[in-house]
Amino acid sequence: MGASAGLASTGITAASVSVGAEKNPTGTEDAGIQKPVQQLLRNRNPEKAAQLMDKKGVEYDQTAVGMPLVLNQKPGEDNGGEDDGISTQAEYNKSNSQLVQTVRLVSGSIYRSTISWVLEYEGEIVNACVDSAGPKDGVSVGFSGAYWEPVNDSWRFGSNTTFDDRKTEGVIGKFDDPEYVPVTGCNGGIRPKVPSLSRRSSWMKVDLRKKQSGKHNVYGTYAHTWNPFSLPSGVTFSISLGILSVSTGPNAQYWKRRSDVNK
């Protein structure tokens, strides 16, 4: 059933939370809670969504990972899908940026992956010029094509997020992350107002058809990209073995985080 019996108070602490197979599993559509669960996940309330699914006996898994603060980041950081024990409450105290993935049974052999994210902008003001206006960030839901296939035209995206590509092993979107530039320059610049929560957070969802019984990974990935000091450079995204890959030009940098679910 649920990802964790203590989810509401402790957050999610395992990298890939496995749920035992049930003979007659219940989906959110079967239980009549499809819309409220999706709305809670879109509004970055994964714990409340988990509580509702637990109450109705729905089959689901959920993981959360912390991501770097935008102004304290280093290029190339990749957690390799490992959960660092970050609580789903972390987004409210700004201790980390955050990525959450929830994979739930809808009905029959159809599952839905919903990933949501929020970027936090604490850190050294001088770094705002390093991470200035640049390429859009990449987001994806990936999987092995041997075990899963995306339901045609089932992908949807939140605000400032658009469809980029569909591959045999995943769906890619792009998030237009907000610019954050000091008012009077990098040296001694005045810290600008942090972008609104609605501008620095969003979500995407994809419906998947399970092709083989058993537990199989679904990879939710977020890649933050930037052009230091606005030097022009391109960024492209692809998927290899279900994992989002990032290719950059000579001036672009990025870090990547994954939230893996074994379902």
**Nearest alpha-carbon partner for 248 in 157, 138, 169:** 138
- Tell me how far apart the terminal alpha carbons of the chain are, to the nearest angstrom: 11
For residues 147 and 208, give the distance between their C-alpha atoms in angstroms, rounded to a whole number.
10
Convert the pLDDT of each residue in 18-73 to its tens digit: 333 456 799 999 999 999 999 999 999 999 999 999 999 999 999 998 888 776 66
Q: How far is CA 242 from the centre of its chain?
A: 14
Per-chain mean pLDDT for the chain:
79
Q: What digits encode the pLDDT tens for the residues 223-258? A: 988 877 666 678 999 998 899 999 988 878 888 888
pLDDT digits (tens, 9 = 90+) for 168-188: 999 999 999 987 766 665 655
pLDDT at 182: 63
Helix (H) / strand (E) containing 186: none
Of all helices (H) and strands (E), which one includes residue 96? none
Q: Which is more confidently placed, 248 or 140?
A: 140
One DSSP character per residue, 7-49 reads HHHH----SS------SS-B-TTTTT-HHHHHHHHHTT-HHHH
Predicted TM-score of the model (pTM) = 0.82
**Bigger pLDDT: 190 vs 1:** 190
Tokens for 257, please give them: 């985080």
